[in-house]
Structure 1
Amino acid sequence: MNSKKIVITGGPGTGKSSLINELVKRGYTCLEEISRQVILDAQKEGIDQLFLSNPLLFSELLLKGRQQQFEDANIHTAETIFFDRGVHDVIAYMDFIGDTYPQHFIDACENLVYDSVFILKPWEAIYTSDNERYESFEQALQIHDHLLNTYSRYNYNLIDIPFDTIENRADYILKALQM
Protein backbone atom coordinates (compact mmCIF):
# COMPACT_ATOMS: atom_id res chain seq x y z
CA MET A 1 0.00 0.00 0.00
CA ASN A 2 1.22 3.51 -0.72
CA SER A 3 0.41 5.47 2.43
CA LYS A 4 0.05 9.23 2.47
CA LYS A 5 3.17 10.64 4.09
CA ILE A 6 2.58 13.69 6.27
CA VAL A 7 5.45 15.58 7.95
CA ILE A 8 5.03 17.59 11.12
CA THR A 9 8.05 19.83 11.51
CA GLY A 10 9.20 22.89 13.40
CA GLY A 11 12.11 24.10 15.44
CA PRO A 12 12.96 22.67 18.83
CA GLY A 13 10.34 22.99 21.56
CA THR A 14 7.38 23.81 19.30
CA GLY A 15 5.17 20.95 20.47
CA LYS A 16 5.83 18.42 17.67
CA SER A 17 6.26 15.42 19.94
CA SER A 18 3.18 16.32 21.99
CA LEU A 19 1.19 16.64 18.77
CA ILE A 20 2.50 13.30 17.47
CA ASN A 21 1.56 11.69 20.81
CA GLU A 22 -1.96 13.10 20.49
CA LEU A 23 -2.31 11.63 16.99
CA VAL A 24 -1.06 8.26 18.28
CA LYS A 25 -3.61 8.46 21.09
CA ARG A 26 -6.29 8.91 18.42
CA GLY A 27 -5.14 5.79 16.62
CA TYR A 28 -3.06 7.28 13.80
CA THR A 29 0.24 5.78 12.70
CA CYS A 30 3.13 8.08 13.59
CA LEU A 31 6.87 7.70 13.22
CA GLU A 32 8.68 9.38 16.07
CA GLU A 33 11.62 11.76 15.90
CA ILE A 34 14.87 9.80 15.91
CA SER A 35 17.32 12.53 16.91
CA ARG A 36 16.83 11.99 20.63
CA GLN A 37 17.81 8.35 20.23
CA VAL A 38 20.90 9.32 18.20
CA ILE A 39 21.83 11.79 20.95
CA LEU A 40 21.30 9.25 23.73
CA ASP A 41 23.32 6.61 21.87
CA ALA A 42 26.19 9.08 21.45
CA GLN A 43 26.03 10.02 25.13
CA LYS A 44 26.39 6.34 26.03
CA GLU A 45 29.62 6.47 24.00
CA GLY A 46 30.79 9.49 26.00
CA ILE A 47 29.89 12.17 23.42
CA ASP A 48 27.80 14.82 25.17
CA GLN A 49 26.47 16.62 22.07
CA LEU A 50 27.22 14.75 18.84
CA PHE A 51 25.57 17.47 16.73
CA LEU A 52 27.94 20.07 18.18
CA SER A 53 31.10 17.91 18.10
CA ASN A 54 30.52 16.18 14.74
CA PRO A 55 27.51 17.68 12.95
CA LEU A 56 28.09 15.78 9.72
CA LEU A 57 28.16 12.37 11.45
CA PHE A 58 25.08 13.29 13.50
CA SER A 59 23.28 14.43 10.34
CA GLU A 60 24.33 11.30 8.43
CA LEU A 61 22.80 9.15 11.18
CA LEU A 62 19.60 11.21 11.13
CA LEU A 63 19.36 11.11 7.36
CA LYS A 64 19.84 7.34 7.33
CA GLY A 65 17.16 6.89 9.99
CA ARG A 66 14.68 9.18 8.27
CA GLN A 67 15.29 7.50 4.91
CA GLN A 68 14.55 4.17 6.60
CA GLN A 69 11.34 5.58 8.08
CA PHE A 70 10.29 6.76 4.62
CA GLU A 71 10.97 3.32 3.12
CA ASP A 72 9.15 1.61 5.99
CA ALA A 73 6.13 3.82 5.29
CA ASN A 74 6.04 2.51 1.71
CA ILE A 75 5.19 -0.98 2.95
CA HIS A 76 2.95 0.07 5.84
CA THR A 77 -0.75 -0.72 5.71
CA ALA A 78 -1.97 2.54 7.26
CA GLU A 79 -3.70 4.95 4.89
CA THR A 80 -1.84 7.93 6.38
CA ILE A 81 1.47 8.05 8.24
CA PHE A 82 2.66 11.07 10.21
CA PHE A 83 6.38 11.76 10.53
CA ASP A 84 7.93 13.75 13.38
CA ARG A 85 10.29 15.61 11.00
CA GLY A 86 11.32 14.69 7.48
CA VAL A 87 14.58 14.24 5.60
CA HIS A 88 14.56 17.95 4.70
CA ASP A 89 15.04 18.88 8.35
CA VAL A 90 18.57 17.48 8.15
CA ILE A 91 19.56 20.03 5.50
CA ALA A 92 17.79 22.84 7.35
CA TYR A 93 19.84 22.17 10.49
CA MET A 94 23.08 21.90 8.51
CA ASP A 95 22.29 25.24 6.85
CA PHE A 96 21.50 26.67 10.28
CA ILE A 97 25.02 25.91 11.52
CA GLY A 98 26.55 26.91 8.19
CA ASP A 99 28.08 23.51 7.49
CA THR A 100 28.42 21.76 4.15
CA TYR A 101 26.98 18.37 3.32
CA PRO A 102 27.40 15.79 0.57
CA GLN A 103 25.26 15.53 -2.55
CA HIS A 104 23.36 12.51 -1.22
CA PHE A 105 21.66 14.80 1.34
CA ILE A 106 20.26 16.84 -1.56
CA ASP A 107 19.39 13.69 -3.51
CA ALA A 108 17.38 12.37 -0.55
CA CYS A 109 15.40 15.60 -0.39
CA GLU A 110 14.71 15.47 -4.12
CA ASN A 111 13.81 11.77 -4.22
CA LEU A 112 11.81 11.27 -1.02
CA VAL A 113 8.61 13.25 -1.49
CA TYR A 114 6.03 13.76 1.23
CA ASP A 115 2.36 14.43 0.51
CA SER A 116 1.98 17.33 2.97
CA VAL A 117 4.13 19.24 5.42
CA PHE A 118 2.77 20.99 8.52
CA ILE A 119 4.99 23.38 10.46
CA LEU A 120 4.79 24.67 14.01
CA LYS A 121 6.21 28.12 14.78
CA PRO A 122 8.40 28.67 17.82
CA TRP A 123 6.15 29.39 20.78
CA GLU A 124 7.95 30.97 23.69
CA ALA A 125 5.18 30.13 26.15
CA ILE A 126 5.78 26.38 25.76
CA TYR A 127 9.50 26.39 24.97
CA THR A 128 11.76 24.49 27.37
CA SER A 129 15.26 23.13 27.01
CA ASP A 130 16.44 19.80 28.34
CA ASN A 131 19.35 17.36 28.18
CA GLU A 132 18.84 16.70 24.45
CA ARG A 133 17.58 20.17 23.45
CA TYR A 134 20.39 22.66 23.85
CA GLU A 135 19.13 25.44 21.56
CA SER A 136 17.95 28.77 22.94
CA PHE A 137 14.59 30.21 21.93
CA GLU A 138 16.38 32.69 19.66
CA GLN A 139 18.09 29.78 17.91
CA ALA A 140 14.72 28.04 17.60
CA LEU A 141 13.49 31.10 15.69
CA GLN A 142 16.47 30.88 13.33
CA ILE A 143 15.96 27.15 12.82
CA HIS A 144 12.32 27.84 11.97
CA ASP A 145 13.45 30.19 9.19
CA HIS A 146 15.84 27.54 7.84
CA LEU A 147 13.05 24.94 7.87
CA LEU A 148 10.80 27.32 5.91
CA ASN A 149 13.55 28.00 3.39
CA THR A 150 14.54 24.35 2.96
CA TYR A 151 11.06 22.95 2.46
CA SER A 152 10.18 25.85 0.13
CA ARG A 153 13.33 25.15 -1.91
CA TYR A 154 11.91 21.66 -2.57
CA ASN A 155 8.52 23.10 -3.59
CA TYR A 156 6.51 22.33 -0.48
CA ASN A 157 3.68 24.60 0.56
CA LEU A 158 3.97 24.41 4.30
CA ILE A 159 0.77 24.46 6.31
CA ASP A 160 1.17 26.57 9.45
CA ILE A 161 -0.35 25.07 12.59
CA PRO A 162 -1.71 27.87 14.82
CA PHE A 163 -0.93 28.20 18.52
CA ASP A 164 -3.61 26.33 20.43
CA THR A 165 -4.13 23.32 22.67
CA ILE A 166 -2.62 20.03 21.55
CA GLU A 167 -6.09 18.66 20.90
CA ASN A 168 -7.08 21.63 18.74
CA ARG A 169 -3.80 21.48 16.85
CA ALA A 170 -4.45 17.81 16.06
CA ASP A 171 -8.00 18.67 14.98
CA TYR A 172 -6.58 21.39 12.71
CA ILE A 173 -4.27 18.92 10.95
CA LEU A 174 -6.98 16.30 10.52
CA LYS A 175 -9.44 18.88 9.19
CA ALA A 176 -6.81 20.18 6.71
CA LEU A 177 -6.27 16.60 5.53
CA GLN A 178 -10.03 15.98 5.45
CA MET A 179 -9.73 13.03 7.80
Structure 2
Amino acid sequence: MDGTLQNDSDRFFVLTGGPGSGKTTLIEALKQAGFPTAPEAGRGIIRDQVAIGGPALAWRDRALFAELMLSWELRSWHAAHAESGPVFFDRGVPDTIGYLRLCGLPVPDHAVSAARKFRYARRVFIAPPWPEIFTQDKERKQTLDEARRTHDSVAGVYAELGYELVPLPLVPVEERVRFIIGEAGLRA
Protein backbone atom coordinates (compact mmCIF):
# COMPACT_ATOMS: atom_id res chain seq x y z
CA MET A 1 0.00 0.00 0.00
CA ASP A 2 2.89 2.44 0.59
CA GLY A 3 3.50 2.73 -3.15
CA THR A 4 -0.03 3.97 -3.80
CA LEU A 5 0.22 6.55 -1.06
CA GLN A 6 3.11 8.31 -2.76
CA ASN A 7 1.82 8.52 -6.35
CA ASP A 8 0.91 12.20 -6.10
CA SER A 9 3.64 13.37 -3.74
CA ASP A 10 5.60 15.17 -6.46
CA ARG A 11 2.75 17.63 -7.00
CA PHE A 12 2.00 18.27 -3.31
CA PHE A 13 4.03 21.32 -2.23
CA VAL A 14 4.34 22.25 1.45
CA LEU A 15 4.92 25.73 2.81
CA THR A 16 6.09 25.55 6.40
CA GLY A 17 7.90 27.65 8.99
CA GLY A 18 7.09 29.48 12.18
CA PRO A 19 3.94 31.48 12.79
CA GLY A 20 3.86 35.03 11.46
CA SER A 21 6.29 34.42 8.59
CA GLY A 22 3.83 35.08 5.76
CA LYS A 23 2.80 31.50 4.91
CA THR A 24 -0.94 32.02 4.93
CA THR A 25 -0.72 35.24 2.93
CA LEU A 26 1.42 33.37 0.41
CA ILE A 27 -1.03 30.44 0.26
CA GLU A 28 -3.85 32.91 -0.43
CA ALA A 29 -1.79 34.53 -3.22
CA LEU A 30 -1.12 31.11 -4.76
CA LYS A 31 -4.85 30.41 -4.60
CA GLN A 32 -5.55 33.73 -6.34
CA ALA A 33 -3.02 32.67 -9.02
CA GLY A 34 -5.23 29.65 -9.72
CA PHE A 35 -3.51 26.91 -7.73
CA PRO A 36 -5.46 24.60 -5.41
CA THR A 37 -4.46 25.01 -1.76
CA ALA A 38 -4.96 23.31 1.59
CA PRO A 39 -5.42 25.63 4.59
CA GLU A 40 -3.41 25.50 7.82
CA ALA A 41 -4.82 23.13 10.43
CA GLY A 42 -3.95 25.18 13.51
CA ARG A 43 -6.05 28.27 12.83
CA GLY A 44 -9.03 26.22 11.68
CA ILE A 45 -8.92 24.01 14.75
CA ILE A 46 -8.59 27.01 17.06
CA ARG A 47 -11.59 28.74 15.44
CA ASP A 48 -13.71 25.60 15.66
CA GLN A 49 -12.69 24.72 19.21
CA VAL A 50 -13.28 28.27 20.48
CA ALA A 51 -16.69 28.34 18.75
CA ILE A 52 -17.82 25.12 20.45
CA GLY A 53 -15.99 25.58 23.77
CA GLY A 54 -13.84 22.56 22.97
CA PRO A 55 -10.73 21.40 24.83
CA ALA A 56 -8.40 20.89 21.82
CA LEU A 57 -6.59 24.22 22.08
CA ALA A 58 -2.85 24.76 22.28
CA TRP A 59 -3.28 26.60 25.59
CA ARG A 60 -5.53 23.86 27.09
CA ASP A 61 -4.53 20.42 25.80
CA ARG A 62 -1.54 20.46 23.47
CA ALA A 63 -1.55 16.71 22.84
CA LEU A 64 -5.22 16.75 21.80
CA PHE A 65 -4.59 19.85 19.66
CA ALA A 66 -1.73 17.99 17.93
CA GLU A 67 -3.92 14.94 17.32
CA LEU A 68 -6.53 17.12 15.63
CA MET A 69 -3.79 18.79 13.56
CA LEU A 70 -2.57 15.39 12.41
CA SER A 71 -6.10 14.34 11.47
CA TRP A 72 -6.66 17.63 9.60
CA GLU A 73 -3.40 17.26 7.63
CA LEU A 74 -4.22 13.66 6.66
CA ARG A 75 -7.66 14.75 5.49
CA SER A 76 -6.09 17.59 3.46
CA TRP A 77 -3.60 15.16 1.90
CA HIS A 78 -6.41 12.84 0.82
CA ALA A 79 -8.61 15.71 -0.42
CA ALA A 80 -5.75 16.96 -2.60
CA HIS A 81 -6.06 13.84 -4.75
CA ALA A 82 -9.26 15.29 -6.21
CA GLU A 83 -7.14 18.02 -7.84
CA SER A 84 -5.41 17.24 -11.11
CA GLY A 85 -2.45 19.62 -10.84
CA PRO A 86 -0.14 20.96 -8.16
CA VAL A 87 -1.53 21.62 -4.69
CA PHE A 88 0.03 23.94 -2.11
CA PHE A 89 -0.32 23.04 1.57
CA ASP A 90 -0.12 25.53 4.43
CA ARG A 91 1.88 23.07 6.57
CA GLY A 92 1.91 19.28 6.32
CA VAL A 93 1.87 16.10 8.40
CA PRO A 94 5.50 16.55 9.63
CA ASP A 95 4.55 19.90 11.20
CA THR A 96 2.60 17.99 13.84
CA ILE A 97 5.79 16.23 14.94
CA GLY A 98 7.60 19.57 15.02
CA TYR A 99 4.85 20.99 17.22
CA LEU A 100 4.96 18.06 19.64
CA ARG A 101 8.76 18.32 19.93
CA LEU A 102 8.53 22.07 20.46
CA CYS A 103 6.11 21.47 23.33
CA GLY A 104 8.30 18.76 24.86
CA LEU A 105 5.56 16.18 24.33
CA PRO A 106 6.14 12.58 23.26
CA VAL A 107 5.72 11.90 19.55
CA PRO A 108 3.39 8.93 19.11
CA ASP A 109 4.43 6.16 16.73
CA HIS A 110 1.35 6.76 14.58
CA ALA A 111 2.44 10.37 13.93
CA VAL A 112 5.86 9.18 12.75
CA SER A 113 4.20 6.51 10.62
CA ALA A 114 1.92 9.13 9.05
CA ALA A 115 4.85 11.42 8.25
CA ARG A 116 6.67 8.56 6.55
CA LYS A 117 3.69 7.31 4.55
CA PHE A 118 1.91 10.50 3.55
CA ARG A 119 4.60 12.26 1.57
CA TYR A 120 4.85 15.56 -0.27
CA ALA A 121 7.18 16.88 -2.97
CA ARG A 122 10.82 16.46 -1.97
CA ARG A 123 11.39 20.22 -1.97
CA VAL A 124 9.60 21.91 0.94
CA PHE A 125 9.35 25.69 1.06
CA ILE A 126 10.19 27.11 4.47
CA ALA A 127 9.40 30.66 5.54
CA PRO A 128 12.11 32.00 7.84
CA PRO A 129 11.21 34.17 10.83
CA TRP A 130 10.43 37.69 9.64
CA PRO A 131 10.25 40.14 12.57
CA GLU A 132 9.06 43.01 10.35
CA ILE A 133 5.77 41.27 9.51
CA PHE A 134 5.29 39.20 12.68
CA THR A 135 2.12 39.99 14.63
CA GLN A 136 0.06 38.30 17.31
CA ASP A 137 -3.73 37.99 17.25
CA LYS A 138 -6.48 36.06 19.01
CA GLU A 139 -5.44 32.82 17.26
CA ARG A 140 -1.67 33.43 17.08
CA LYS A 141 -0.57 33.82 20.68
CA GLN A 142 3.07 32.80 20.15
CA THR A 143 5.90 35.26 20.67
CA LEU A 144 8.55 35.95 18.04
CA ASP A 145 10.94 33.73 20.01
CA GLU A 146 8.39 30.88 19.91
CA ALA A 147 7.96 31.49 16.17
CA ARG A 148 11.73 31.10 15.70
CA ARG A 149 11.78 27.92 17.75
CA THR A 150 8.81 26.58 15.77
CA HIS A 151 10.68 27.27 12.53
CA ASP A 152 13.73 25.40 13.80
CA SER A 153 11.65 22.48 15.08
CA VAL A 154 9.69 21.90 11.87
CA ALA A 155 12.84 22.42 9.76
CA GLY A 156 14.53 19.65 11.73
CA VAL A 157 11.65 17.24 11.23
CA TYR A 158 11.41 17.80 7.47
CA ALA A 159 15.19 17.41 7.12
CA GLU A 160 15.13 14.15 9.13
CA LEU A 161 12.42 12.85 6.82
CA GLY A 162 14.61 13.47 3.76
CA TYR A 163 13.02 16.63 2.43
CA GLU A 164 15.09 19.41 0.88
CA LEU A 165 14.27 22.72 2.56
CA VAL A 166 14.00 25.72 0.23
CA PRO A 167 14.09 28.97 2.26
CA LEU A 168 11.68 31.62 1.05
CA PRO A 169 13.17 35.05 0.40
CA LEU A 170 12.04 37.94 2.61
CA VAL A 171 10.40 39.82 -0.26
CA PRO A 172 6.87 41.01 -1.10
CA VAL A 173 4.27 38.28 -1.62
CA GLU A 174 4.18 38.67 -5.42
CA GLU A 175 7.91 37.97 -5.59
CA ARG A 176 7.53 35.01 -3.24
CA VAL A 177 4.83 33.57 -5.53
CA ARG A 178 7.12 33.88 -8.55
CA PHE A 179 9.97 32.32 -6.57
CA ILE A 180 7.85 29.31 -5.55
CA ILE A 181 6.41 28.78 -9.02
CA GLY A 182 9.92 28.87 -10.48
CA GLU A 183 11.49 26.62 -7.84
CA ALA A 184 8.62 24.13 -8.17
CA GLY A 185 9.09 24.04 -11.95
CA LEU A 186 5.54 25.27 -12.60
CA ARG A 187 3.90 27.94 -14.71
CA ALA A 188 1.48 30.53 -13.38
Of 65, 71, 92 in structure 1, the residue corresponding to residue 72 of structure 2 is 65
Aligned length: 178
Query: What does residue 168 of structure 1 align with?
Result: 175
Matching of residue 103 in structure 1 with residue 109 in structure 2: yes
Distance 1:48 1:22 in 2: 32
Find the partner of 2:30 among 23, 28, 33.
23
Q: Which moved more, 1:150-159 or 1:32-41?
A: 32-41
CA positional deviation for 1:76: 2.2
After TM superposition, which residue ranges in structure 1, 4 or more long, deviate above 6 angstroms?
Answer: none
Instruction: Provide the TM-score with structure 2 as the length reference.
Output: 0.90
- TM-score of the superposed pair, with normalisation by structure 1: 0.94
Whole-Å separation in 1 of the counterparts to 2:159 and 2:172: 27
Q: Compare 142-151 and 124-133 and name the one that shifted more.
A: 142-151
Which deviates the most, 121-130 or 35-44? Answer: 35-44
- Contact 1:11/1:122, CA 8 A, preserved across alignment: yes
Once residues 45 and 82 of structure 1 are traced to their aligned partners in structure 2, the CA distance between those partners, rounded to angstroms, is 29
Match among 112, 118, 126 for residue 118 of structure 2: 112
1:56/1:101 contact within 8 Å kept:
no
Runs of 5+ consecutive residues of structure 2 not aligned to the other structure: 1-6
Distance in 2 (CA, whole Å) between partners of 1:128 and 1:171 is: 25
Spell out, residue by residue over 1:139-168, the C-alpha distance to the aligned partner (whole angstroms, 9 max, x if none): 111111101111011011110111000000
How far the C-alpha of 1:15 sits from its partner, in A, is 0.2
Give the percent of matched residue pairs that are identical in Structure 1 and Structure 2. 33
For structure 1, the 5+ residue unaligned runs are none
Deviation at 1:102, TM superposition (A): 1.6
Deviations 1:90-148 (A, max 9, x none): 11011001011321000001101111310000100000000000100011111111011
